[in-house]
A and B are shown apart, each in its own frame.
Chain A
Amino acid sequence: MIDRHLVTLTVNGREHELLLESRKTLADTLREDLGLTGTHLGCEHGICGACTVLLDGEPVRACLVFGVQADGAEVRTVESLAEEGGELNDLQQSFSRNHGLQCGFCTPGFLMLAEAYLDTDPVGDAEEVREVVSANLCRCTGYQGIVDAVVEVAAARKEQRQA
């Protein structure tokens, strides 16, 4: 009754071969098969965005993607942002500096959402950032710290690009 498929996933630069039940979500695959528990599940119906990861560079809800659909794709999760045991990246540091997290459950999703946005060389003002981060839900912060954190990094990265 259970059909399984052999898929190849490249996650955070490492290639994995996995035997996956066709209905298993990408989120459960990352969490259960690869032990990458930084990707959190807040609603499992695609609204809250806590499970946001990058699939070939684009932000997706990992609860709405099946693991088999990611066959051959590159996946990036929150675990890729800082070097293992190394310093936090600029966005992570900015989240801390601006108090962009409290309980921390939604945070990985916001970080991945913001990483994808920042990669587009955006305008990066507060209005645009507010619009972008409205894709995800946070219940603790009231969002201001999240907006401030992303705005700050957008400006810093723009400066770096121009330098």
Chain B
Amino acid sequence: MTASTAKPQRWVGNRLPRREDPRMLRGAGRFVDDIADPHAYHATFVRSPIAAGRIASIDASEALAMPGVHAVLTAADLGYPQLTAALERAEFVATQMPLLAYDRVRYASEPVAIVVAESRYLAEDAAEAVLCEFDETQAVLSIRDVTDGGRALHDEAPDGVLVDLQMFSDDLLGEALDRAPVVLEETISSGRVMAAPMEARACHAQPDARDDQLVLHVSTQVPHQVRSGVAQALGLPERRVRVIAPDVGGGFGLKCVVGREEVVVAAVAEQLGHSVRWSEDRQENLTAAFHGREQEYLVRAGFDSDGTLIGVDADIRCNIGAYSVYPFSCGVEPLMAATELPGVYKVGRYAARARGVATNKPPTAPYRGVSRPQIVLVMERLMDKAAKQLDIDRVEIRRRNTIHADEFPYTGPNGITYEPGSYVESLDRLVDEIGKAGWWERRAATADGVLRGIGIANFSERTAYGTPTMGMRKMQMTPGFEVSHVRMDPTGEVTVTSGTCGHGQGHETTFAQIVADRLGISPDRVKLRQGDTDLVSFGWGTFGSRSLVIGGGSAAVAARRLADKIRKVAGELLEADPADIDLVDGHAEVRGAPDAHVSIEQIAATVHFRAHELREHDEQLLEARGAADPPGMFSNAAHAALVEVDPGTGDARVVDYIVVEDCGVVINPTIVDGQVRGGVAQGIASALYEELVYSPEGQPLAGTFMDYLVPTASEIPPIAVHHLETPCDQTETGAKGMGEGGTIGAPATVVSALNDALRAYGADIDHVPVRPADLLTLFKEHRLHTPREAS
């Protein structure tokens, strides 16, 4: 079954099988660690065994004496390279992240030296033989440790706060809340989790004398950003660094920032003049790669007696770990949270303070959803709590506060203008689907003693942040635009380049669909090339639900321009006005006279090989460039979960799940469904299973997949996905981004369902993850406080 057997009018909207699949299914994908280089040295890192302290000494003499060990290098040996990420804001304190720690260590597993040896086995032996002595100090671990006046990790920020933003202040808010009929004062929090892609981080660095380059194969979402990071840290012109992201085994944000280990490996290869490779093991990944989501929200909200929100005042605290991550900085979670907290709701008055506090834990990166899983949890908890207090239906209170179709474009008190979406419609459709699926009957079943509940959440997801939106963050390096090149070779085959860098999202398929439609050819003839800084002029990479909209949008523009050039040549060959030429089914034909046609192959061959036959060829080749830089647009979705809780064990399970989503024009429904389902799985994971727990000394207690509980197929239910389609008029394809929505909505939905399941116990759960022990405590407290009924 090949794609070319069917010939629809349009490839966009088709469930085209993925172009990526065959090589992956054969085991012929090429991930960093699959690159054959039998003579490469293997690197491993010596890491800090303590969370906080000073390095007293590092003695590598024993390790260096071991056969097969080539080098043990510390920060001093590499010239103290560092990366600094900064926001150009007065409220931001810039701090350095040394690539290898040299005076202080700031988290357990922080790298202090790199060992380079003949094999990974030998490198790990040698790393154990490096003797390090530390003067340990007390670790600062929690948000409260800092806000209650803890010790500073960085001299530049003596109060431990790296960013403190007061946004959208409103002098009348306090008074309005004081007068509100219902006032909620809540603390809502989420635990530290991580993306845990199945392929951990990896880097292979190879000096190339011929091209005078350092060639890096990196498992990254952002090859050009890695190039910039390496060039800046090592003081090299960017031309001298070539970064290639081959197949990447998942990222989810963990790979959209530059890791210090990757840069160190590059520095060592440059210094030794020899190729060096490093593959992170899972323990390193869990304890030393980027984390996210450890946040606390102190919220005050007022509702009118009819359930209308009057105002929200939020004090947002993000535990950003030890360092500001390059290039996004530690502002990424606080800024996102403060700006987008209101979501789909008309909150009335709004003010937010958002802080990022430094602790002795690994730095945080933008993990899929970035603060939005938490802000949706906050808003949905407020809705459920107010509904309960006011005895209003949970759906009805949401409907009353949601931005309605006739209110778009809607500008909220957070200064954001929301373009049209289907916020109320998706909620209504969700309610329909819950009914059709028989959930209310299932919820009512009690004979087996199992507690059942239904949870809902309604939310938006700002996607495809272009330069105008990213610029408001005031990052030193502002991502946003993408540029794409589309070129046709003499055989009529098309190559598309993009600076986005897919790693599971099926870009090779969806970009081909978009381009094929514009050129009137089969997507089989379109090949996307991505992830190579020498092949693609520039680009920002894949993150923030941006790729299909910005990268795909730029490819669409380029393909449209190429189509114009093809029409021009066809017009000359067919002696017709180019405006009358249609590109269909691999031909250029004259509209209304389908017998007058010329094949794409013939056009391509003529332009390249028989240019002398053309009168006009102002540009010789069949190629075009396109760019896209949209303002950022909102997808939206409504989620519902059905959960079951075992009152004996506290075991909570999501047994069924429904999503109604609207991401504008759907390019490939199969891929959208897959993104939604995978996202929901990660959201359920952070609601019920995963947490990076630390001991009071700052030792990571989740260092394996036995402790960090990534859910299996037994924990993730079937997920029904329904599509609404509000085309976006700000993008070339009408599509909005949608890569993060599943993850954003699921935690709030699951918590809503748990509180519903435990309604008889007066449950008021305001944190994730919710563990069996939490529920057993709840049951116990309820028994203690409830007088026994006479039997």
Contact = CB atoms under 8 A, between A and B. Distances in A.
A139 B198 contact: yes
Interface string A121-163: 0000000001101111111111111110000000000000000
Interface stretch (B79-87, B691-699, B703-711): B703-711
A99 B250 CA distance: 15
A139 B708 CA distance: 13
A130 B713 contact: yes
Interface of A: 1, 21, 23-24, 31, 35-45, 47-48, 50, 77-79, 81-82, 88, 92, 95-97, 99, 101-108, 111, 130-131, 133-147
Contacts of B90: none
Contact of A146 (B22, B23, B283, B713): B713
B249 A105 contact: yes
A78 B198 contact: no
Contacts of A107: 24-25
A32 B478 CA distance: 41
Contacts of A82: 25-26
Given A42-B282, A134-B713, A142-B678, A88 B27 contact: no
Contacts of B679: 142
B24 A144 contact: no
Given A95-B21, A104-B29, A23 B719 contact: no
27 contacts: A23-B121, A37-B27, A38-B28, A42-B200, A43-B281, A45-B706, A47-B704, A47-B705, A88-B25, A88-B26, A96-B22, A99-B18, A99-B671, A103-B197, A103-B504, A104-B24, A105-B29, A105-B247, A130-B713, A131-B714, A133-B713, A134-B713, A139-B252, A141-B674, A142-B719, A143-B713, A146-B713
A131 B714 CA distance: 6
A2 to B, nearest CB: 9
B678 A140 contact: yes
Looking at A77, A133, A139, which has the most chain B CB atoms within 10 Å of its CB?
A139
Interface string B28-40: 1111011010000
A64 to B, nearest CB: 13
Contact of A137 (B506, B678, B712): B712
Contact of B705 (A43, A78, A130): A43
Given A96-B18, A139-B252, A147 B282 contact: no
B716 interface: yes
B248 A36 contact: no
B235 to A, nearest CB: 34
A97 B15 CA distance: 10
B44 interface: no
B657 to A, nearest CB: 9
A24 B710 contact: no
A24 to B, nearest CB: 7
A158 B249 CA distance: 33
Contacts of B189: none
B282 A44 contact: yes
Contacts of B308: none
Interface in B54-68: 67
Contact of A96 (B17, B33, B677, B706): B17
Interface in B710-727: 710, 712-714, 716, 718-719
B680 interface: yes
Given A40-B249, A44-B281, A144 B718 contact: yes
B469 interface: no
A95 B671 contact: no
Contacts of A130: 713-714
A40 B282 CA distance: 13
Contacts of A144: 677, 716, 718-719
Contacts of B195: 139
Contact of B506 (A45, A102, A134): A102
A142 B677 contact: yes
A142 B714 CA distance: 10
Given A23-B121, A134-B714, A99 B199 contact: no
B670 interface: yes
B140 interface: no
B315 interface: no
B673 interface: yes
B26 A79 contact: yes
A106 B25 CA distance: 10
A23 B29 CA distance: 27
Contacts of B29: 38, 104-105
Nearest to A25: B121
A105 B26 contact: no
A102 to B, nearest CB: 4
Contacts of B25: 78, 81-82, 88, 92, 95-96, 101, 104, 107, 111
Closest 10 A-B residue pairs measured CB to CB?
A38-B27, A105-B249, A104-B24, A103-B504, A142-B677, A102-B504, A78-B27, A47-B705, A142-B681, A37-B34
A92 B705 contact: no
B198 A138 contact: yes
B682 interface: yes
Contact of A36 (B17, B27, B505): B27
A45 B248 CA distance: 21
Given A92-B25, A139-B195, 13 more contacts: A31-B33, A39-B27, A43-B281, A45-B282, A45-B283, A48-B705, A82-B26, A101-B21, A103-B247, A131-B713, A133-B713, A137-B710, A141-B674
B34 A48 contact: no
B718 to A, nearest CB: 6
B651 interface: no
B22 A139 contact: no
B26 A92 contact: yes
B196 interface: yes
A100 B518 CA distance: 29
Contacts of A41: 33, 279
B239 to A, nearest CB: 30
A99 B24 CA distance: 12
Most B CB contacts (10 A, CB to CB) among A99, A131, A140, A142 go to A142
B293 to A, nearest CB: 16
B248 A103 contact: yes
B678 A108 contact: no
Given A23-B121, A99-B18, A145-B674, A45 B26 contact: no
Interface string B654-691: 00000000000000001101100111111000000000
A77 B748 CA distance: 41
B503 interface: yes
Contacts of A104: 20-21, 23-25, 29, 247, 249, 504
Contact of B706 (A37, A47, A111): A47
A30 B710 CA distance: 27
B282 A43 contact: yes
B689 to A, nearest CB: 12
Interface string B639-656: 000000000000000000
